[in-house]
Structure 1
Amino acid sequence: MDQLRWILLGLGALIIIGVYVHGSWQTIREKGWPQWRRKSAEDSDRIEPDALYGDDGIVGEVRVTRLDDTEFEPAPEPEPEPEPDWELDLGLDDEPQPDLEPAPAADPVFEGEEKVIVLTVMAPKGVQYAGDALAEVAEDCGLRLTEQGVFRRGIDTDAGTVAAYTIANILEPGTFEQARLAEQMTPGVVMIMQLPGPFDGPSTFEQMLATARTIVERLGGQLLDGRRCDLNAQSIEHMREELLEYRRRSQLADRRSS
């Protein structure tokens, strides 16, 4: 019985060794010897420079290289710089600082500043105004022909009559002759208001504008500004604002001087 047991144990050992040898041989046939497999794996993890570019110079597929943990060590973190042991003393805590206040806006000094408003009325194209026709419209609007040859809307003062606004000939020398009004012709007239004066600028401008419109309505023509551009609603509103600002500054100057 003892001999039979040893014979069976020997056969079992031979069978185990045979199975192991057969498995190892199959592994070597399929994957090669272990040192060859390791070298092949290492080579496959490296990126060949020539493999990055194709024949046309375009970057192809990139393979990532695995690096051993021991090849590169992380850089040591920089040590924090010590804080300075000094303080900048600006003297802010020594005494209270006054609050800053915006400086008041300075109003421009108004000392008899002059302002001139000019309107132009031009006759229709190819037509001229007759002097006597202009005189009739001007007189209906409260203007009179003066010895100087201009139509004037006057205001009586202690110092005499002062012109609120005037109408002059657009042709040089800018005058009309009383004796020749019927035969005197002109392509247009200029209306002028000058400040300062003993009258209210905004209200006087409205009177002058009404006179200019009356001339256009009765004799035809076109209403323009002092540069002979179309006098539209925006231009008129701009003149009104300028006159209101002029009056405000004038009243402020009067209060300062009193």
Structure 2
Amino acid sequence: MENFQLVLSVLGGVAIVAVLVHGYWSIRKQQPKPLRDGTSARAKQEPGASRDKEGFDADGIGQVRVVKVNDEPEEAEAAPAAVKVEPQVKQEPVIAPTRQEPVIKPEAEAPVLGEQASLFAEDELTTQAEEKVKPEAVEPVIEEAPVQDVEPELEREEELPDPQDVLVLHVCAKEGEELAGAELLPCLLTLNFKFGDMNIFHRHEDNAGTGKVLFSLANMVKPGVFDPDNMEQFSTQGIALFMTLPCHGDALRNFSIMLNSACQLADDLGAEVLDDRRQLWHADTKQAYLERIRAVVQ
């Protein structure tokens, strides 16, 4: 045991010495002062040995230039360079007059505003003048002139000469039959007939039942009138469609509408179309009616 303890103590001492030696060596290695002192000493000893023609050494460092106090021309040359730069820098803010443009703009806009104000004043004067003129010039035109010009025209349009001829068509039930009022009334309304004056039906210019009367429809049996409230209990042997010549509008067109209405009623009610002499309607009868119309219209 004693030998073993001795060996351990020797090894520990050797280890401590090795650590101390290693620390001293590493500290010595990290110190660059001797190297720098050596290089600086060499530079002092050989100032121009390692420099090229332009005066730079191997590290690219030039020789130290000593500026004398009496070298005033160099300072004078440097001073103008500084002075020349300053005006160039200061000339940029010198453009500040451009900032005065918004000050000039109101002066240019001022007369425009004055012109606009004058224009508005002229407009007001013209409008006032027009307002003064309108009541005097317009009122008599609206109240007097149209009334005097329109009324005679309406009276002339409503007036017709005395009738020269009357065209009549009959729609009669077949022998042994009658036309029922419950069936007749819907047919008349479908063909745009309207119950009106003299208690009979009329066909007007407008399908809604307004405008001038083109032709009329009456009961063929005396007294020739209808009672719309009792049409369900009404029955008749036939009805008569008639128009006077001259008439309002185109006489040929009005007769064509009347003939088509008579034919439609005959088809819907199962009746027959007859002429004014209660003869069956045919092509020759139609031609005779057209000649009668032309004779009156011409």
TM-score by length of 2: 0.43
Q: Give the number of the structure whose alpha-carbon radius of gyration is greater.
A: 2
Which has the larger share of helix? 2
